[in-house]
Structure 1
Amino acid sequence: MTSVSERNPQMLECLAHHRGKPCASEAGGKSPWMFIRRARVGGRSPLLAAHLPITHKPTPAESDQHKATKERIVETAEGYGLTANAEMGMPNQRGVTDAMVTGPSGIQIGWEIRYSPLSPSSVHRRSVNAMEHDITPLWVAKDDTAVLIDRAPRARVDDMFWREIADGSEMVIRGGYRHLQVWRCLASSALHCPDNGGTGHCGAIHAEWFLPALCDPPKPPVRIEDLILTSATGDSVPVFVPSRGGGRAGRHMWVPRTECRTWRELTSQWDPLPKVQEQEADDEITFSEQEIDRSCRAGEEGWFRSDARPVRDLGQPTGGFTLARMPAQRKRRATWITQVERAAAAATLGCPPSEVGPCIGCGQLMRRYGHNAAMACDSCRASAIPRQRGA
C-alpha cells in the first residue's frame, strides 16, 4: 500500500471543482485533488474518495519521534556492548529494519518502530521476511489499537514527545511483556480462579501470564532498555500463547526465558511463534452501487466517518493452563511424579523441581527435600497435633 505522501496528487479531481463550483478544500487553501481511501464502517471496509490530505500523514513531530526512538535503541545497545546498526537492510534486499541489535551469542533482533498505521498484511510480510533470515522481529507501537498488536512480537510504549525520548526519559513497556504466575487455587490465594469466572476456588493449579503490575506480588516495570538488553542476550524470549478458546487467536508477548521454560514444560508448547503459512488478508473491501455524489464534502463533520479501531492491547491475564489437584490419600513414590506435575508444583512452591515430593499423609505435592523441608504438609502436621484439653 502506497503512503499518501507518495501518491500522485492529480489522480482524482473533486467533481465540484471540475464543474466550476466551489470546492471547500480549495477554498481552505488546500488541493482540490482527491484519492481513494479505505474506511471502516459497521464491520465493512468500503472505499471512498477523499480530499488530500485526510488520512494519516507523518508530521515533523512524529518523524522526530520515530527517529529519536531508533537512535535510543542503537545507543542503548552499544552502551551495553552489543552490536547495533540503524536502517539495516535485509539479506534478500526486501526491506530495511529500523534497528538491528545483535547479542553476544549471535541472536539478531530486528526492531521495527511503527507509530503510524500499517496494514495486517504488511506486518505479516515483514515479520515472515525477518524470521526467514533468523531475525526476531520486535515491533514498537504507542497506540493500544495498533493492528500489529498480537500479530508479531511487540512492545507498546507511551506516546512521548521526541525530546523526552532523546533526553532519556523513562520508557516503560506498557504492553507486550508478561510474567508467568503459577498458583494453587485456594481461598487464601490472592489470584482469582480463571475457570470459575473469577469467583470461588477450585483447588487446582493454574498458570497464567500477567502484566508485571498485576502479578502477586507485583513485579517491577520493564523499561525499553531492559528489553533491548535481555532480548539480545536471550534472557527474554518471544512466545505465542493461544487463547483459551483455541484456534489461531492468542497473544504475542515477551517473557523471561526461565518462565518460558516452565510454561513449555507445563503445556508442551515448544514453538515460540505460530507457523502461519498463508498471507493474512487485510479488511475485506465491499462495494454497493450508489448514486454519484457530485457535491464537495471536504470538512464536513461526521460524513462517512470511519469506525474507531477496537482496543487490541488488553491487560487481562492470558494462558489458561490448569493442572487438576492430586487425589487425596494417594501415596506413591516421588519417582512416579510426572514432569508436568513436578514443574507446576515447583513453580507454585518457589523451589527447585528436585525438592518436590509427596506428603506422606495425603500425597499432595510439597517441598519434601532440601533446606527447611518436611515429610508432611502443614495440614497433615496440624491434624496430627493432639488437641489441648478444653480447646
Structure 2
Amino acid sequence: MANGVWHTGYGIEINLSLPDLGHPDRPDLLREITASVAERDPQLLECLAHHEGRECLSESGGKPPWMFVRRGRVGGRRPLVASHLPITHRATPAESAQHKATKERIVETASRSGLGAVAEASTANRRTISDALVTGPGGRRIGWEIQYHHLSPSSVHRRSVNAVQHQITPLWVAKDRTASLIDRAPWARVDDMPWRDIAGGKEMVIRGGYRYLQVWKCVTSCDRHCPVNEGAGHCGNVHAEWFLPALCQPEKKPVHLEDLVVSSATGESVPVYVPNRGNGRAGRHMWVPAADCERWQALVGEKVPLPLAPVQEEDDEITFAEQEIDRMCRAGEEGQFGSDARPIRDMGQPTGGVTLPRMPVQHSRTSTLITFVERAAASAALGCPPWELGPCAECGQLMRRYGRNAAMFCAVCRAVLNGR
C-alpha cells in the first residue's frame, strides 16, 4: 500500500507515515487531504511514480493517476493509505436490487399508513439525497438512507450533518454487523435477504439499532447480573441499561421495518445518543420508544443531542509508523494490503448503562431528602407512580410504601424479619 503522495496544489511530497506528514508548518494538511473527493479538486493528489516520470500501474490500465487518502486497517493498526481513484463502490446487481426493493417497501409502507413519502428526495442545497423521505404529523421528517455496501465514516458524518441542518432526522439502514455507519448516526440493521423476499413482503426484523430501557434494583431476587460487580453478587443499587427486545425481561416483541417506518415519523420512536461514560470519546446511537427516552432523561438528568461533530473512536485512531516513503506504484495491490477485515460494530450487548446510588440508611427519625433522580429511578425500577414511593421502615431504602399492594418493609427486610 502506498504511504506517500504528491500534492499538486502545494507542490510538495507527503509522507503519510509521519505524524506531521513531513510538513510541520502545515497543521491543516491532514484535514485537507482526507476531505471527500466531492469537496475538493479530484486532481489534488497524484501518484508519486507518475509525478516522477515512472510507470503508474493505474494509468497503464487506462485509469487516472489521481489518488485519495483513507484510513487502512492492517494487523490492528490504522495507517493512512493512498489509493488510486475511483473511490466509489459500484454496487453489484444484487445490492442494487436489494436497495431498490427496500426503498420501495419503505415508501409503500409510509403511504399505506397515511404518511407523506417521497423517493430520492434532495435537500435544498442538493448535497444530500435521501433514498426515502417520510414525513409525519407536525412536519417530522425522517430521511432513510439504505446503505448495503461499505461507506466511509466521513461520508456518513457529512451526509448526516447536512440532513440535520435541513431539519431531517437521518435513519441509516445496514445489513452487515461490520458496517461503518453503525453508531455514527441513527441506524437500524436488517437481515441480508434476496430482493425478491424484500419486494414480496417477507418479514424484515430490525436486528440492531432499536432498544428498550430496562431499570432494575440489584438485589438477590433479581435475575439480572450486577453490571458493577461483573456478575459477582448484587450491589443493591438501581441500574438502567438499554437492551435489544429479545434480551428484555419480560421479552419484548421484535420491531419490524414497517414498525420503525411509522413510529419514527409519528414520534413514537425517537433517536437517542448515549455517550460512553467510560472514556467520553465515543457513544451509541439507537432508536428507542419515546416513553423510554423521557424516562432515561429523567434518570440521568440530561438530554444529549445528536452529535454534529464526528466522534473519533479507538478503532479510528491513526497509526504513524514513521517509515521511508515507498515510491513504487501499488495500484492493484491497494485492496489486498490496505485493509484487514472490519471489526464487528453491532455487538448486541446491553449498552449505555448508568447506576444510581441507593437511598442512605435512616438511623434517626429525621427524613432523608429524596432527589428527583432517585425518585425517578425507584419509580421505574419498582413499576409504581412516584407518589406511592416511601422509605422502608427498617432500612430506609425507597420502596412501594403507599397505594395498593403497599408494605411497611422492603422485601429484603421482610425476609430478615421473618427469619428472626
Same fold, TM exceeding 0.5? Answer: yes
Contact 2:282 2:311 in 1 (8 A): no
Partner of 2:211: 178
Output the CA distance in 1 between the equivalents of 2:136 and 2:123. 17
Output the CA distance in 1 between the equivalents of 2:374 and 2:391. 11
3-state SS of paired residue (1:270): coil
Partner of 2:144: 111
Output the CA distance in 2 between the equivalents of 1:279 and 1:194. 25
Partner of 2:132: 99
1:323 positional shift: 1.1
3-state SS of paired residue (1:105): helix
1:290 positional shift: 2.2
- Which residue identity does 2:325 align to in structure 1? E
Judging changes above 3 Å, is the alpha-carbon distance between structure 1 residues 46 and 378 closer, same or farther for their aligned structure 2 residues? closer
Contact 1:297 1:303 in 2 (8 A): no
Larger deviation, residues 348-357 vs 222-231: 348-357
Report sequence identity in percent: 60
Output the CA distance in 2 between the equivalents of 1:265 and 1:147. 31
1:109 positional shift: 0.7
Partner of 1:77: 110
Pair 1:314 & 2:350 matched: no
Output the CA distance in 1 between the equivalents of 2:311 and 2:234. 42
Partner of 1:198: 231
Pair 1:357 & 2:390 matched: yes
RMSD (Å), alpha carbons = 3.5
Alignment of 1:222-261 (within 5 A): 222-261=255-294
Pair 1:162 & 2:198 matched: no
Output the CA distance in 1 between the equivalents of 2:266 and 2:389. 30
Output the CA distance in 1 between the equivalents of 2:208 and 2:364. 44
Partner of 1:292: 328
Judging changes above 3 Å, is the alpha-carbon distance between structure 1 residues 34 and 271 closer, same or farther for their aligned structure 2 residues? same
Partner of 1:147: 180
- Which residue identity does 1:93 align to in structure 2? R
- Given candidates 371, 390, 404, the residue that maps to 1:338 is 371
Contact 1:193 1:199 in 2 (8 A): yes
Contact 2:188 2:209 in 1 (8 A): yes
| CA deviations over 1:226-262 (Å, ceiling 9, x no partner) | 1111111111111111113142311000111111111
Structure 2 gaps of 5+ residues are 1-35
3-state SS of paired residue (2:94): helix
Output the CA distance in 1 between the equivalents of 2:311 and 2:359. 44
Partner of 2:357: 324
Output the CA distance in 1 between the equivalents of 2:363 and 2:148. 56
Output the CA distance in 1 between the equivalents of 2:138 and 2:336. 55
Contact 2:145 2:171 in 1 (8 A): yes
Partner of 1:45: 80
- Which residue identity does 1:173 align to in structure 2? I
Contact 1:157 1:173 in 2 (8 A): yes
Contact 1:125 1:279 in 2 (8 A): no
Output the CA distance in 2 between the equivalents of 1:303 and 1:275. 33
Q: TM-score, normalised by structure 2?
A: 0.77
3-state SS of paired residue (2:396): coil
Judging changes above 3 Å, is the alpha-carbon distance between structure 1 residues 178 and 279 closer, same or farther for their aligned structure 2 residues? closer
Structure 1 gaps of 5+ residues are none
1:272 positional shift: 3.5
Contact 1:179 1:209 in 2 (8 A): yes
Contact 2:213 2:240 in 1 (8 A): yes
Output the CA distance in 1 between the equivalents of 2:342 and 2:107. 32
Larger deviation, residues 123-132 vs 35-44: 35-44
Bigger relative contact order, structure 1 or 2, given CA contacts below 8 A and separation 6+? 2
**How many equivalent pairs are there?**
367
Q: TM-score, normalised by structure 1?
A: 0.82
3-state SS of paired residue (1:124): helix
Judging changes above 3 Å, is the alpha-carbon distance between structure 1 residues 368 and 131 closer, same or farther for their aligned structure 2 residues? same
Output the CA distance in 2 between the equivalents of 1:140 and 1:302. 25
Judging changes above 3 Å, is the alpha-carbon distance between structure 1 residues 270 and 297 closer, same or farther for their aligned structure 2 residues? closer
1:199 positional shift: 2.4
